[in-house]
Amino acid sequence: MLTKSSLEQINPPARLLMGPGPINADPRVLRAMSSQLVGQYDPAMTEYMNQTMALYRQVFRTNNEWTMLVDGTSRSGIEAVLVSIIRPGDKVLVPIFGRFGHLLCEIARRCRAEVHTLEIPWGEVFDPQQIEDAIKTVHPRILLTVQGDTSTTMLQPLEQLGEICQRHQVLFYCDATASIAGNPLKTDLWHLDAVSAGLQKCLGGPSGSAPVTLSDAFVQQVRARRHIEQGIKSAQHQDGEDEMIYSNYFDLGMIMDYWGPERLNHHTEATSMLFAARECARIIAQEGIDVCVARHQLHGAALDKGLSAMGLELFGDLSHKMSNVTGVIIPEGINGEQVRQLLLNDFGIEIGTSFGPLHGKIWRIGVMGYNARKDTVLTTLAALEAVLRHLGYVANEGAALQAAWDHYGQ
């Protein structure tokens, strides 16, 4: 039943991952993960946990005490926030501009929220006024937003939403998985109450750990649902008054008790993923979060100029595009999947397909994290031009690379 290859060592083919994520992990992150383990309450371990909290405060641009990791993929961070705050019957408002808005609705429905949505065509973003108007009509308890939706490459402006939410006493959550560290995100300045992320985009790590940050106002409301496991409960512990949440694993109250000074046992921290998450944030702290964002903007723009010079049309409202991922309209007469196969099989380069209303209509090319570099941009442009020319598309020979070089000032 076991094939011979099942018994061989892991030996993945060399790939340059230029899709919408996951991307190649920074080699320093891979090395950090190969560190030997320490015990769950070893002083070295709890110190690494504290350092990780401090490092992610820098990434999220926040002073929030409760800045920590959820042990799972980026989606686990979203669900931990939603299931911890939403009480059955709560009204939530979700402005949907791509797939991940639908995901927020889906998770909120599973938390038995009353879900209200706003929708616009894929490729656009909302005007803050539209969202405020909906808030006035719906009176939601929570506004659930996505900052950057890789399905459409769009970046929703958030700057004004926090002030609107405060005025209407609405909690403000954002899924920043795809955008963080590649685009400006200012948790405190923008009055965000909860933000969640993942490592596998601009943070330059593997999927499997979800950094989250929570405002004091948010934490206070989660604490009202506090509930301690019977096996480890002692007399001084008091449960909150609200109905307990639907999850133990994602109960942020419990996760805070584990990350906080009480160190109350919950899960066994996924140490290797914590090492990875710490290293991602450490690398960014050394570079500087603003420099990291600027690097994504530089290389993202170089890619876009190259693609345009090749004669390709970019997708969506380009004034509201994420820096780190670009939608490219597949030209007439070109088989999009054939191009992806040739890039993967002959050049070892992966670019993304798309789904939903954009299925078969655009490719998605990402420049993020460790792969936000000049050599990856130029290599990808050269390979794409070669493949398109091979398939009969007239690609303005050499123009793409020259445009990128021009952008770099060479």
Of 41 and 313, CB closest to a second copy = 41
- What residues numbered 188-207 form the site for a second copy, per CB under 8 A? 198, 200, 206-207
Q: Is residue 236 at the binding interface for a second copy, with CB under 8 A as the rule? A: no
Q: Is residue 263 at the binding interface for a second copy, with CB under 8 A as the rule? A: no
- Asked if residue 208 lies in contact with residue 273, where contact means CB atoms within 8 angstroms, the answer is yes
Q: Is residue 248 at the binding interface for a second copy, with CB under 8 A as the rule? A: yes
Q: Which of 59, 85, 92, 103 binds a second copy (CB under 8 A)?
A: 103
Residue partners of 37: CB distance under 8 A and separation at least 6: 271, 272
Rounded Cα distance between 220 and 234, Å, is 22
Stretch binding a second copy (CB under 8 A), from 54-62, 185-193, 296-304, 387-395: 54-62
Rounded Cα distance between 42 and 107, Å, is 35
Rounded Cα distance between 303 and 316, Å, is 16
Rounded Cα distance between 103 and 122, Å, is 15
Q: x/- binding map, residues 350-369, to a second copy, per CB under 8 A?
A: x----xx-------------
Q: Is residue 5 at the binding interface for a second copy, with CB under 8 A as the rule? A: yes
Smallest gap from residue 106 Cβ to a second copy (A): 5
- What residues numbered 215-234 form the site for a second copy, per CB under 8 A? 229-232
- What residues numbered 20-49 form the site for a second copy, per CB under 8 A? 21-25, 27-28, 30-40, 42, 44-45, 47-48
82: three-class secondary structure by DSSP: helix
Smallest gap from residue 297 Cβ to a second copy (A): 24
Q: Is residue 374 at the binding interface for a second copy, with CB under 8 A as the rule? A: no
Size of the site for a second copy (CB under 8 A): 101
Rounded Cα distance between 309 and 347, Å, is 21
Rounded Cα distance between 293 and 284, Å, is 10
Q: Is residue 402 at the binding interface for a second copy, with CB under 8 A as the rule? A: no
Smallest gap from residue 87 Cβ to a second copy (A): 13
Of 25 and 404, CB closest to a second copy = 25
Q: Is residue 19 at the binding interface for a second copy, with CB under 8 A as the rule? A: yes
- Asked if residue 36 lies in contact with residue 275, where contact means CB atoms within 8 angstroms, the answer is no
* Cα–Cα distances in angstroms (integers) from residue 16 to residues 149, 268, 346, 383, in the given order: 22, 33, 12, 12
Smallest gap from residue 29 Cβ to a second copy (A): 9
∠29-42-274 over CA atoms, to 5°? 25
- What residues numbered 62-101 form the site for a second copy, per CB under 8 A? 71-76, 79, 83, 98-101
- What residues numbered 151-170 form the site for a second copy, per CB under 8 A? 151
**Chain Cα centroid distance, residue 230:** 35
* Cα–Cα distances in angstroms (integers) from residue 336 to residues 316, 364, 396, in the given order: 18, 11, 19
Q: Which of 160, 265, 396, 402 binds a second copy (CB under 8 A)?
A: 265
Smallest gap from residue 153 Cβ to a second copy (A): 15
Smallest gap from residue 187 Cβ to a second copy (A): 15
Amino acid identity for residue 60 in this structure: F
- What residues numbered 107-136 form the site for a second copy, per CB under 8 A? 107, 109-112
75 is in an annotated binding site: no
Smallest gap from residue 223 Cβ to a second copy (A): 17
Smallest gap from residue 339 Cβ to a second copy (A): 15
Smallest gap from residue 62 Cβ to a second copy (A): 11
Residue partners of 391: CB distance under 8 A and separation at least 6: 334, 335, 338, 339, 342
Of 264 and 403, CB closest to a second copy = 264
Rounded Cα distance between 396 and 261, Å, is 61
Q: Which of 123, 162, 208, 211 binds a second copy (CB under 8 A)?
A: 208
Before 22, cis peptide (omega within 30)? yes
Q: What is the 3-state secondary structure (H, E, C) of 183-234?
A: ECCCCCCCCCCEEECCCCCCCCCCCCCEEEEECHHHHHHHHCCCCCCHHHCC
Q: Which of 129, 130, 220, 268 binds a second copy (CB under 8 A)?
A: 268
Rounded Cα distance between 254 and 223, Å, is 9
| Residues tagged in the binding site annotation | 364
Annotated binding site for substrate: 364
